[in-house]
Structure 1
Amino acid sequence: MIESSYVVIHSHVSEFPEPMTLRTGDGVLVGERYDGPEGWPDWYFCTAPAQEPGFVPAQLLDRHVDGSAKMLEDFTNRELDVVEGQVLQGNRQLNGWLWAVRISDGATGWVPLDKVRLQD
């Protein structure tokens, strides 16, 4: 994957301090599609055994008619807390979010794309 540098233009603090960590093949129950004002498409509220519930992108779910699904790849919905001016390395975008590494300390997580801009 190609990594790009981003600068944080608006701070972000996670509202979900206990992220889900799922492995390829793990089963989840799929709930409602996220429909918030931010316009983040195709995130579904999921539950899994021994995990706090959370949102998972649709393209990582092999969905079944009974409302269950299997994970198509490893995934965590850990969000990265960031403050304006921080520099990040990002290598994946999904449904309005960027998977990033904070350069200052190596912490990783998802950041909303509207909170960052590609660095020149």
Structure 2
Amino acid sequence: MKFIAIRQHRSECPNPISFTQGATLKLGEYYCDDEMEYWYFCTLDGDKGGWVPEQLIERIDENYGRALEDYTAKELEVNSGDKLKMTKIMNGRAWCVRKSDGDEGWVPEQFLMLAQS
């Protein structure tokens, strides 16, 4: 689906967590509110951390989970008016590809408006 960014978005995480299916994740803070629903702050080997959607985690025990699919927390920095193609929505975030340069990443869903054809 085609969308237009209606607000500027800048990433607060210059080094986002990325992992492949089957990776072991240490589960930290659980976060759920109107802006960001059902996310865990996860770390890999006590090193790199980031927010991961709950449905991508198979719980091993109280403190650990296993990744159910490949994932990156990379955010796409957008300016108002950027034309985007959305390929996935998950927990208040949309995975988008910017048409002008092909860069891709997560954008808050409320920063997007459906483009007129």
TM-score range normalised by the length of the shorter chain: over 0.9
70, 80, 84: which one aligns with 2:80 = 84
Task: Provide TM-score, normalisation by structure 2.
Answer: 0.93
1:118 Cα deviation after fit: 1.2
Q: Which residue of 2 aligns with 1:15?
A: 12
CA RMSD of aligned residues (A): 1.3
**Structure 2 gap segments, 5+ residues each:** none
Question: 1:64: how far off?
Answer: 2.1
Q: How far did residue 39 of structure 1 move?
A: 2.8
Which whole-Å deviations, capped at 9, do the CAs of 1:12-46 have from their partners, x for residues lacking one? 0000010111100000001111245x531101100
Alignment equivalent of 1:24, drawn from 21, 26, 30: 21
92, 101, 104: which one pairs with 2:100? Answer: 104
Identity, % of aligned positions: 37
Across the two proteins, how many residue pairs are aligned to each other? Answer: 116
CA distance in 2, matches of 1:63, 1:45: 14
| Unaligned residue ranges in structure 1 (runs of 5+) | none
Quick check: 1:75 aligned with 2:71?
yes
Q: Which residue of 1 is the match for residue 55 of structure 2?
A: 59
- Alignment equivalent of 1:33, drawn from 30, 34, 41: 30
**1:26/1:71 contact within 8 Å kept:** yes
Matched, 1:49 2:45: yes
Greater Cα offset, 104-113 or 59-68: 59-68
Task: Report if aligned partners of 1:20, 1:51 keep a CA contact under 8 Å in 2.
Answer: no
Tell me the TM-score normalised to structure 1 length.
Answer: 0.91
Cα distance in 2 between the residues matched to 1:51 and 1:14: 20
